[in-house]
Structure 1
Amino acid sequence: MELLKKYIHMNQWKNKASTQLTLDDDFIVPDTMDDVDRVLLDAGEIQIESARAQGEKVNVRGKLDFRILYRKADGGLQTLAGSIPFEESVNVPGLEERDYTETAWELDDLSVGMINSRKLSVKALVTLTVQTETLRDVEAAVDIEGAGSEDGAELELQKQKVEAAAIAVRRKDTYRVKELISLSGNKPDMEHILWSEIRLRAESARPLDGKLVMEGELMVFVIYTGEGEDGPVQYLEESVPFSGELELPEALEEMIPQISMKLVHKELEAKPDYDGEMRELELDAVVELNIKLYEEEEVEILSDLYSTNREVTMETEEACFDKILAKNACKCKIVEKIQLDNGERILQICHSEGNVKIDETEIKEDALHIEGVLEVQLLYMTSDDNEPIRSRTEMIPFHYMADAKGLTENSIYQLNPSIDQLTAVMMGGDVVEVKAVVNLDLLVLQPVCHQVISSAATQPMDVQKLQKLPGIVGYVVQPGDSLWKIAKKFHTTVDNIMETNGLTSDKIQPGDKLLLVKEIAQG
Structure 2
Amino acid sequence: MPMEWEREEIILKQQGGKQSSQILLEGDIIAPDSKPDVNEVLSCHGKIRMKDVRAGEDRINLSGDLELNILYTSDKGEDAVYAMTASLPIEDVINMDGLDKDMQVKIRTVLEHLDCQVINDRKLGVKAVIGLTAAADRVHKVDVVVPLNGNGMAFLDGKLRLEEAVTEKKDRFTIKEEVTLPQTAAAVGEILSSEFYLADQEIRPMDGKVMVRSNLIMDILYTDDQGSGTVHVWSEKIPFSGYLEADGITPKSMIEMDLDISDASIKTALDDDGEPRVLDVDVTILGELSAWDVSEKDVVTDAYAPGMETEVMQETVTYPISIGRTKNQFSLKEKITLDKNERPMLQAGKCWGTLLIQDVTAENDMIEVEGVLTVEILYFCQEDDHAVCMVKKGIPFSQKIEMKGVAAEDEIKVKENLEEIDFQILSDKEGELFASIMLEADAKRLETAQLVTDIRLKDAEKSQRHLAGAVIYKVQPGDSLWKIAKRFDTTIERILMVNDIEDPNKIYPGQKILIIKMIR
TM-score, with length taken from structure 2: 0.88
The correspondence for 2:67, drawn from 62, 65, 68, is 65
SS at 1:504 equivalent: coil
- CA deviations on 1:436-491 (whole Å, 9 max, x unpaired) are 23222222221121222121123445999864550x44444333332333333344
**How much has 1:25 moved relative to structure 2?**
0.9
Instruction: Tell me by how many angstroms 1:67 deviates.
Output: 2.4
Q: Does 1:133 align with 2:136?
A: yes
Residues 212, 241 of structure 2: 8 Å contact kept: yes
- Give me the whole-angstrom Cα distance separating, in 2, the residues matched to 1:397 and 1:452: 47
- Residue 186 of structure 1 aligns to a residue in which SS? coil
Cα displacement string for residues 10-37 of structure 1 (whole angstroms, at most 9, x for unaligned residues) = 142511221231312141x333333334
State percent identity of aligned pairs.
Answer: 25
Over 3 Å counting, the alpha-carbon distance change for 1:96 and 1:264 in structure 2 is same
Query: Pick from 78, 90, 110: which aligns with 1:106?
Result: 110
2:439 equivalent in structure 1: 440
Say what the alpha-carbon RMSD is for the aligned residues.
3.0
Residue number among 35, 38, 59 corresponding to 2:37 in the alignment: 35
- Structure 1 13/413 Cα, relative in aligned 2: closer, same or farther at 3 Å? farther
CA deviation after TM superposition for structure 1 residue 407, in Å: 5.0
1:262 counterpart SS class:
strand
CA distance in 1, matches of 2:352, 2:263: 19
Mapped partners of 1:136, 1:31: distance in 2: 54
Question: Deviation of residue 339 (structure 1)?
Answer: 0.7
Of residues 9, 13, 18 in structure 1, which corresponds to 2:12? 9
Partner of 1:92: 96
- 1:121 maps to 124
CA contact (8 A) 2:366 2:403 kept: yes
322-331 vs 258-267, greater mean Cα deviation: 322-331
Distance 1:343 1:311 in 2: 85
**Which residue of structure 2 lines up, in the alignment, with residue 269 of structure 1?**
267
| Separation of aligned partners in 2, 1:409 and 1:95 | 27
Unaligned runs of 5+ in 2: none
Distance in 1 (alpha carbons) for counterparts of 2:317 and 2:125: 53
Task: Give the Cα–Cα distance (whole angstroms) in 1 for the partners of residues 56 and 461 of structure 2.
Answer: 57
Question: Which whole-Å deviations, capped at 9, do the CAs of 1:151-210 have from their partners, x for residues lacking one?
Answer: xx3222221112233333323222222222111231132233233222233434232222
- Report the secondary structure of 2:277's partner residue: strand
User: Match for 1:121: what amino acid?
Assistant: L
Confirm whether residue 191 of structure 1 aligns to residue 189 of structure 2.
Answer: yes
Q: For the Cα contact (< 8 Å) 2:167–2:290, is it kept in 1?
A: yes
User: How far has the Cα of 1:315 moved from its partner?
Assistant: 1.6
Corresponding letter in the other structure for 2:119: I
Cα 1:208–1:370 shift into 2, 3 Å: same
Instruction: Say whether 1:314 aligns with 2:312.
Output: yes
The counterpart of 1:52, out of the listed 41, 51, 54, is: 54
Task: Report how far residue 332 of structure 1 moved.
Answer: 4.4
TM-score by length of 1: 0.87
Tell me by how many angstroms 1:138 deviates.
4.6
2:381/2:389 contact within 8 Å kept = yes
- Tell me the amino acid that sits aligned with residue 47 of structure 1: R
- In structure 2, the partner of 1:484 is 482
Contact 1:258 1:443 in 2 (8 A): no
Residue identity matched to 1:24: G
| Contact 1:9–1:166 under 8 Å retained in 2 | yes
What secondary structure does 1:506 align onto? Answer: coil
Residues 366-375 or 246-255, more deviating: 366-375
| CA separation of 1:333 and 1:229: change in aligned 2, threshold 3 A | closer
Structure 1: 5+ residue stretches without partners: none
How has the CA–CA distance of structure 1 residues 269 and 482 changed in structure 2, closer, same or farther, with 3 Å as cutoff? same
* 1:179 maps to which of 150, 174, 177: 177
Show CA shifts across 1:498-523 (max 9, x none): 33443332222234443444579xxx
Q: What does residue 509 of structure 1 align with? A: 508
* CA distances 1:54-108 after superposition (whole Å, capped 9, x unpaired): 5433333333322223334262333222223343333333332222233343333
